[in-house]
Amino acid sequence: MKILVVGDVVGESGLEKLKVELRKIKETENIDFIVVNAENVAGGMGITVNNFNELKKLNIDVITMGNHTWAKKDIFTFIDDDKIIRPANYSKGVPGKGYNIYECNGKKIGVINLIGRTNMGILSENPFTAVDSILEKIKHKVDIIIVDFHAEATAEKIAMKYHLDGKVNIIFGTHTHVQTADEDITEKGTAYITDIGMTGPKNSIIGMDVKASLKRFLTSLPERYKLAEGSCIFNGCIFELDDDNCRIKSVNRIYMK
């Protein structure tokens, strides 16, 4: 089985890039299951009904979210759809699901979305204890477990790798929009990468217009972010698993211009 995860889709131009490249990759790589982080798809922040409907047309299996989950009010009209999950360690009682179980090629796949607490500016529960609780509920119900850890700090993501080592099949990081080159398979068999990067404008500061972003750094004055224009990159990762025992066989980063 081949599982493709795609880095934070930034803006409508990132969505168009996703449409073009996803079709090619599915055909050339024989992809079976697709996870896409889309918390930035609506102009760089949040997701709308139209965005959600466009993503569903691409036959994506799971859409994960992050710190901009609630940025667009549209989210409340479809947050309970099985296609989308939001961070499981948000406050109890909020709409939506933090994890879900899907079926593919006769296998049950549990996908968990978490959000970090270091330098995120979001009040959330402890992601480490939250994921432990979820694993207790699903570990005997699934064949494969995937975790999208949406976090800022590299150390927090690596800590999660060691915390879940051997307990889940795949951990991939999102949020920083910068792809890391540390993809690995641990001795206990867990596939890991700190951040899979973004699918969005190449000549940008993590997807945003360079001039507007630089002004904030140069002057410390408030400046409205705006989406960068121009050609886009496509970032993702393909995880191949053994069909018989669901063990990770390989991890391959994707960086396409």
Q: Is 17 helix (H, G, I), strand (E, B) or coil?
A: helix
Q: For the chain, first and last CA: distance in Å? A: 26
Six-digit token string for 40: 């930035």
CA dihedral defined by 245, 145, 178, 182, rounded to 10 degrees? Answer: -40
Share of the chain above pLDDT 90, in %: 98
233 close to 257: Cβ distance less than 8 angstroms: yes
pLDDT recorded at residue 23: 93
Token pair listed for 75: 């989210």
**According to the model, what pLDDT value does residue 224 have?**
87
Q: Are strands 2-6 and 248-256 parallel, antiparallel or unpaired?
A: unpaired
Annotation marks residue 68 as catalytic:
yes
Q: Is 39 in contact with 74 (CB distance < 8 Å)?
A: no
The whole-number pLDDT of residue 149 equals 99
pLDDT in tens, 38-76: 999 999 999 999 999 999 999 999 999 999 999 999 999
What's the rounded Cα separation, in Å, for the pair 166 and 156? 18
Predicted pLDDT of residue 225: 87
Q: Which long-range contacts (CB under 8 A, 24 or more apart) does 70-78 make?
A: 70/46, 71/39, 71/42, 71/45, 71/46, 71/47, 72/42, 72/45, 72/46, 72/47, 72/48, 74/46, 74/47, 74/48, 74/49, 75/46, 75/47, 77/49, 78/49, 78/52
Across the chain, mean pLDDT equals 97
- Whether 169 has a pLDDT exceeding 90, the answer reads yes
Give the model confidence (pLDDT) of 194-230 as tens digits: 999 999 999 999 999 999 999 999 999 988 889 999 9
Strands (E), 123-212: 144-150, 170-174, 184-185, 191-193, 198-201
pLDDT band at 165 (very low <50, low <70, confident <90, very high): very high
Stretch 179-183: mean pLDDT, rounded?
98
Taking a C-beta distance cutoff of 8 angstroms, is the pair 14, 200 a contact?
Answer: yes
For residue 255, pLDDT beyond 90: yes
Please provide residue 230's backbone torsions phi and psi, each rounded to the nearest 5 degrees.
Answer: 100, -175
Average pLDDT over residues 150-168: 98
Domains and CATH numbers, the chain: 2-256 (3.60.21.10)
Q: Which residues pair with 185 in a beta bridge?
A: 191
pLDDT of 222 reads 87
Indicate the SS3 state at residue 7.
Answer: coil
Q: What is the mean pLDDT of residues 99-124?
A: 97
Question: Burial code of 207-242, b = ≥16 C-beta within 10 A, e = fewer?
Answer: bbbeeebeeeeeeeeebebebbeeebbbbbbbbbbe
pLDDT in tens, 15-28: 999 999 999 999 99
pLDDT average, residue stretch 148-152: 98
